[in-house]
Structure 1
Amino acid sequence: MSFKEWMLERAQHLKPETFEKLMMIIWALWKNRNNVLWEGKAQSVPDLVLSCFTWLTEFQKSRGTGTSTQRSVRPKWKPPTQGFKLNVDAAFLPNQHQGGIGGVLRDSTGQFKAAFFQHVDHAASPKQCELLAIRASLDLLSSLDIQNVCIESDCMEAVYEANCTNYALLANGGLVDDIQAMWSRLQGVTICHTPRTCNAVAHRLAALGFEATIGEVWFDYAPPCIIDVLQHDCAQLL
């Protein structure tokens, strides 16, 4: 029996969800091989597995929205049931190797509490910028001495790495170490994924950070540049 025949024979005995993961890993290995040959770049094993499973999840989400009724239902931002919610986002252009990050803190009634944006002079990837946004959000919470906060990012890979316990081999391992060290000093803080449609205010702030030369921070009173997006989020709660 040839290897191809053996693979096909074994595939018939796999559960559909296991077979899908196997195909994604094979594709990721093939793509990684081509990147090594043509660009001299290689992903680490944790990055490779994480990225291919993230792509699979995104594909399954898009495949599950086949009807017009399902497509019209978009997730909306919701305030936390208690405590606070801090949404973060990042902007990045690979040809310029720079980015911007931003975040907004709101309470359980949707009221604005704080916001920030920063320019990132040197960045290697969108995921690195997202991790920088998470680290900046933890720094903000530390300065405010606020507890019981849900930090939300629309980058699933960054959220996974921020929560990863075995991060030594990750490309951004040093940054994740910073995040977890800051996180350990805070009480009642979680880092979670949220759909992009629930992250509009942070997205606006990240874009402003990309264009800015200096960072900005606001407390208690929202700046005019995000008033419209904040009002849109609140209007959807009615």
Structure 2
Amino acid sequence: MSLEEWTAEMLQHNRRNLINKVFMVAWAIWNNRIDTVWQQKGKEYVEIISSALHVLNNWESAQDKSFDISVGFITQEDGDVHWKSPQLGIVKVNTDATLFDESNHYNYVMVARYHEGAMMESISSCRSGSLNPEITEAIGIREALSWVKSKNWLGAVVETDCLNMVQAIRCSSVNLSYLGRVVDECKQLLVDIKSRNVTLKFVKRSANMIGHYLAIYSISIADRKWG
């Protein structure tokens, strides 16, 4: 069976989930081929597939208007569309991470704000390496939790717009991959600072814009601290 015949059969049987995965992975393979030919920096197949499915999952979550926040380790406290002020005395930390494939770098940022919205402190850090998006996001959350642990704040809410990582951290299953080890470190940090009223929360991208934009533009202001 040729690729064309195989694709036609899938379309005929309307196997939508499989079709979406096939074309997303095919798109990722094509992009990897371009990177390999023109930039000599192709990725391993496991990373290609993982990255493609991560992008697909985020896209499908964004399209799903009937998403029930009561399932998938998500609570009623999650899913804010706009940034909300924390309670008096509680610090809100927004974190995000991004990849810069062109320069083979990734970065993470953390922004801490008072209840009235004024910035207390922020950190931008850029590192060399080619990681998949999920690991990059997990590292950003880990660093944000570690940062909170080093402070003497009476309470904090750490917000991220990466739904997959919030679900993974709240899940009790064990993952022996490198991503799993980073997730386990996040879990342990939350245990370590639980008595200090620190929580991790999922929000929509629109509620995490300061972290998102700072992450995008931090390649030019890497390893900086404000506040």
2-side partners of 1:136 and 1:76: how far apart? 23
Match of 1:92 in 2: 99
Q: Is 1:104 matched with 2:111?
A: yes
Match of 2:181 in 1: 174
1-side partners of 2:25 and 2:163: how far apart? 24
Q: Is 1:128 matched with 2:135?
A: yes
The 5 Å alignment of 1:36-185 reads 41-42=45-46, 53-61=57-65, 75-82=81-88, 83-170=90-177, 172-185=179-192
Match of 2:198 in 1: 189
The structure having more radius of gyration, on CA atoms, is 1
Secondary structure (helix, strand or coil) at the match of 1:102 reads strand
Unpaired segments ≥5 residues, structure 1: 12-21, 63-73, 220-238
Match of 1:216 among 205, 214, 224: 224
Q: Would you say the 8 A contact 1:120–1:210 is kept in 2?
A: no
Q: Would you say the 8 A contact 1:76–1:197 is kept in 2?
A: yes
Match of 2:69 in 1: none
Unpaired segments ≥5 residues, structure 2: 1-8, 33-43, 67-79
Match of 1:16 in 2: none
AA at the equivalent of 1:197: S
CA RMSD for the aligned pairs? 3.6
1-side partners of 2:28 and 2:148: how far apart? 41
2-side partners of 1:36 and 1:204: how far apart? 25
Question: Alignment identity in percent?
Answer: 20
CA deviation profile, 1:85-142 (whole Å, cap 9, x unmatched): 1101122123433122111111222232221110121131222222221111112111
**Could you tell me the TM-score, scaled by structure 1's length?**
0.63
Structure 1 residue 32 displacement after superposition = 7.9
Match of 2:19 in 1: 27
Residue correspondences, number: 189
Secondary structure (helix, strand or coil) at the match of 1:119 reads strand
2-side partners of 1:91 and 1:33: how far apart? 20
Secondary structure (helix, strand or coil) at the match of 1:124 reads coil
More displaced, 195-204 or 161-170? 161-170
AA at the equivalent of 1:218: W
Match of 2:208 among 199, 207, 232: 199
**Could you tell me the TM-score, scaled by structure 2's length?**
0.66
Match of 2:73 in 1: none
Secondary structure (helix, strand or coil) at the match of 2:87 reads coil
AA at the equivalent of 1:216: R
Structure 1 residue 41 displacement after superposition = 1.8
Structure 1 residue 170 displacement after superposition = 4.9
Secondary structure (helix, strand or coil) at the match of 1:80 reads coil
Q: Would you say the 8 A contact 2:28–2:52 is kept in 1?
A: no
Secondary structure (helix, strand or coil) at the match of 1:103 reads strand
1-side partners of 2:216 and 2:27: how far apart? 30
Secondary structure (helix, strand or coil) at the match of 1:79 reads coil
Decide whether aligned partners of structure 1 residues 27 and 146 sit closer, same or farther in structure 2, where only a CA change above 3 A counts: farther
